[in-house]
């Protein structure tokens, strides 16, 4: 094989899993991008696979690949940027292995990302959140489980996958300041504090679902039982009960969004913390974001909320200004209001 394919092999088999500690799903995504790039070189650039090498690739080739993604495959800016980030990472790795490819890596690193229109974050208002948390029937086992799941997810601002993958040992309750260990993207672990009310929900949940289980147990915290075997609860299960609770809450709460999904609880906690004054840098660490850029969407969403509120005020003011004042065409009223009579 050429140096190009040997480098791909080392990148996928050694560098990503062992040095960057990427998870299997992430590595699979990177592999798909590199496969797509090789297919582009073969089919669109008419290169024989066996002849593909670093010398046949330059900045222009990568730019043409990105344009092909947008025009022929109808990829959006997000997808284009993700493909470019993978190529940046790969060619940077190649430059680390052989300085002959450093210039190529730098030239590709300097290809700019496409600007993306910031989307307003969907989150629950405080009345909507309160209404949602009232929906589970805690006289039933599943109601206790589902309520604790939602409270824990909101309290920790965790991703749904992080909550589902929790083990009993990941929660430290019998300490002065209870905490949870969340295992996020890239096998990164972060520590988040637990509120007193969350600990109370935890204790009630444990008595029903893990009574007598050791705190160091590695059993799934949230589980379903299949043929007598406990396994981590699936994301679909969480999505389903949240959807049902959202629909029932919308009957009494006009502020409830039409569609509720687990990630909305993470957005909600993040927005509430930001609105309460948590600094952006600290919020980024709390959420486990790799970059503060990913956290800025909450500031954008908050700004949008304020802008809309101001627009409503301006509309109300305009309507008020257009009304005929009571003193119009009334000389006596004008004199009285001005203090002359």
Q: Give the helix ranges, DSSP H, for 276-295.
A: 280-287
Contact residues for 111 (Cβ-Cβ < 8 A; gap 6+): 59, 62, 63, 66, 84, 88
Tell me which long-range contacts 6-9 makes (C-beta under 8 A, separation of at least 24).
Answer: 7/54, 7/90, 7/93, 7/94, 7/97, 8/34, 8/90
What is the average pLDDT score of the chain?
Answer: 88
Q: Do strands 229-232 and 223-226 pair parallel, antiparallel, or not at all (unpaired)?
A: antiparallel
Tokens of 217: 């147990």
pLDDT tens column, 280-313: 888 888 888 877 777 777 776 666 555 655 565 5
pLDDT at res. 37: 97
In this prediction, residue 279 has a pLDDT band, given cuts at 50, 70 and 90, of: confident
pLDDT at res. 110: 95
Whether the predicted pLDDT of 224 surpasses 80: yes
| Average pLDDT, integer, range 268-272 | 90
Q: Phi/psi of residue 166, each to 5°?
A: -65, 140
pLDDT at res. 80: 95
Lowest mean pLDDT among 5-9, 142-146, 161-165, 188-192: 188-192
| Average pLDDT, integer, range 239-267 | 94
In this prediction, residue 184 has a pLDDT band, given cuts at 50, 70 and 90, of: confident
Closest-CA residue to 151 (of 223, 188, 205): 205
Report whether 188 contacts 237 (CB < 8 A): no
Enumerate the β-bridge partners of residue 229.
Answer: 226
The rounded percent of the chain whose pLDDT value lies above 90 is 67
Closest-CA residue to 262 (of 149, 167, 143, 171): 149
As a whole number of angstroms, the distance between CA 100 and CA 292 comes to 33
pLDDT at res. 337: 57
Lowest mean pLDDT among 35-49, 127-141, 173-187, 202-216: 173-187
Number of residues in the chain: 341
pLDDT at res. 306: 59
Tokens of 213: 């289980």
In this prediction, residue 11 has a pLDDT band, given cuts at 50, 70 and 90, of: very high
Contact residues for 215 (Cβ-Cβ < 8 A; gap 6+): 168, 169, 171, 172, 173, 174
**What is the pTM assigned to this prediction?**
0.64
Closest-CA residue to 157 (of 185, 193, 206, 204): 193
pLDDT at res. 335: 58
Vertex 89, ends 85 and 94: CA angle to 5°? 145
Longest Cα–Cα distance of the chain, Å, equals 101
| Average pLDDT, integer, range 96-108 | 94
Report whether 86 contacts 34 (CB < 8 A): yes
Q: Give the helix ranges, DSSP H, for 157-251.
A: 160-164, 196-209, 235-249
pLDDT at res. 24: 87
């Amino acid at each position: 094989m050429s140096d190009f394919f040997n480098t791909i092999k080392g990148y996928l088999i050694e560098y990503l899993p062992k040095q960057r500690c990427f998870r299997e799903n992430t590595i699979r995504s990177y592999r798909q991008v590199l496969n797509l790039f090789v297919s582009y070189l073969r089919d669109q650039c008419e290169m024989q696979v066996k002849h593909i090498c670093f010398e046949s690739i330059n900045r222009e080739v990568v730019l043409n690949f990105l344009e092909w993604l947008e025009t022929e495959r109808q990829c959006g800016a997000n997808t284009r940027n993700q493909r470019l980030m993978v190529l940046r990472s790969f060619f940077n790795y190649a430059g680390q292995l052989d300085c002959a490819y450093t210039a190529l890596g730098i030239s590709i690193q300097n290809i700019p990302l496409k600007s993306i229109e910031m989307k307003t974050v969907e989150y629950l208002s405080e009345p909507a959140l309160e209404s949602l948390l009232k929906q589970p029937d805690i006289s039933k086992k599943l109601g206790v489980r589902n309520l604790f799941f939602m409270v824990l997810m909101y309290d920790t601002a965790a991703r749904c996958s992080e909550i589902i993958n929790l083990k009993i040992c990941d929660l430290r309750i019998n300490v002065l300041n209870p905490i949870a260990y969340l295992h996020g993207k890239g096998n990164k672990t972060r520590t988040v504090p637990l509120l007193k009310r969350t600990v109370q929900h935890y204790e009630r949940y444990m008595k029903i679902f893990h009574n007598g289980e050791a705190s160091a147990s590695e059993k799934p915290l949230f589980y379903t039982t299949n043929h007598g075997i406990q396994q981590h609860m699936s994301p679909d299960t969480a999505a389903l009960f949240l959807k049902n609770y959202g629909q029932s809450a919308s009957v009494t709460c006009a502020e409830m969004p039409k569609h509720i999904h687990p990630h909305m609880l993470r957005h909600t906690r993040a927005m509430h913390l930001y609105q309460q004054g948590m600094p952006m840098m600290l919020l980024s660490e709390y959420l486990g974001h790799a970059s503060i850029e990913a956290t800025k969407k909450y500031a954008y969403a908050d700004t949008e909320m304020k802008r809309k509120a101001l627009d409503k005020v301006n509309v109300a003011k305009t309507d008020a200004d257009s009304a005929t004042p009571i003193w119009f065409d009334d000389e006596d009223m004008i004199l009285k209001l001005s203090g002359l009579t």
